Structure 1
Amino acid sequence: MQHPETYLALHHARAADLHAQAEAHRLANAARPDRDLRSRLGWTLVEVGLRLATPRTTALAH
Structure 2
Amino acid sequence: MASFNKQVTSWDELCLEIRCESCFASVFDEVNEQMGSSSDVLARLADEFPNHYKSYAKERGLVQP
Higher relative contact order (CA 8 A, sep 6+): 2
- The alignment's TM-score, normalised by the length of structure 1, stands at 0.29
- The alignment's TM-score, normalised by the length of structure 2, stands at 0.28
Q: Which has the higher helix share?
A: 1
